[in-house]
Structure 1
């Protein structure tokens, strides 16, 4: 049977994906914790808005929203000038569990899903959505680890 429409094609493509399970998503949380620990080695003691500057690159901002001994909620972003003013992109909000060594994405650009217009979003499980969000930060952290290889974080006053 030939695929006749774009929607049929998307449904076929979507159905090829195997649903993600807790072990896979948890493994991604662990990988992301390791990567954020390389990018920001002193994350567990940073308690204020900090910025890392690297010549030729956008400044990398870390906003601390909540901080305790065992967890922290942060936003990692670039602040970019636009005609409408300063905007944060990609604006990734995440929670770190220091004792368990896990990083879980809470939102990207204030959205809890990256592809909310996907025609089959209703078929996505919570694990699939977590996978999507955490794969996004994993790739961005890889990018940052290459681009910002000699970061020095400074508190913004």
Structure 2
């Protein structure tokens, strides 16, 4: 387990409330992973897809683009037009951060979290962004090196 993974594992399993510093570090890790998965994301102005013969196609939907920020949705579009996991995130290019705005239109991911009643905004941000971090690992494993095609 690398140092970032060990840090996240220890922090996630901690019962202490997450701080802005904790969440910010996760924002930075996700920024690095997004750029590994989508190297030209800063120049991406149109929705794109990675087609894969063994896995669901990976869709990047462009919601808004500005000079220093952009909002995207990363998802699989399954049968019956079901989008899963449908992660909407905002990239702060100048600060080099990625912040999850929602997962499947939810602002709280884990409704069974044992400390949900104690969850502050930072804890909720932690849950959502940790989910993105883990899903980006999955996507990097399955899709890295594949070509993005404009829709």
Give the TM-score taking structure 1 as reference length.
0.84
1:63 aligned counterpart, secondary structure = strand
Q: How does 1:44-83 map to 2 (within 5 A)?
A: 44-81=42-79
Larger radius of gyration: 1
In the TM superposition, what is the alpha-carbon distance from 1:122 to its structure 2 partner? 3.1
Q: Secondary structure of the residue that 1:41 maps to in structure 2?
A: coil
| RMSD over aligned Cα atoms | 1.5
Per-residue Cα deviation, 1:97-141 (whole angstroms, up to 9, x for no partner): 001100000000000011235575332111100000000000000
Query: What is the match of residue 33 of structure 1?
Result: 31
Deviation at 1:153, TM superposition (A): 0.8
Aligned to 1:150: 145
Taking structure 1 as reference, are residues 119 and 146 closer, same or farther at Cα in structure 2, changes over 3 Å only? Answer: closer
Q: Secondary structure at the match of 1:47?
A: coil
Matches of 1:118 and 1:43, distance apart in 2 = 33
SS state at 1:76 partner: strand
Any stretches of 5+ residues in structure 2 without a counterpart? Answer: 1-13
**Counterpart Cα distance in 1 of 2:114 and 2:127:** 15
- Across the two proteins, how many residue pairs are aligned to each other? 139
1:120–1:149 CA distance, 2 compared to 1 (3 A): closer
Task: Kindly indicate whether residue 110 of structure 2 is the aligned counterpart of residue 115 of structure 1.
Answer: yes
Deviations 1:56-105 (A, max 9, x none): 11100000000011000000000001xxx210000000000001100000
Q: String of CA shifts for 1:15-64, please: whole Å, max 9, x gaps.
A: x6111001010000000000000000000011111111122111000000
CA distance in 1, matches of 2:142, 2:22: 27
List gaps (5 residues or longer) in structure 1: 1-15
Cross-structure match for 2:3: none
1:124 matched to 2:122? The reply is no
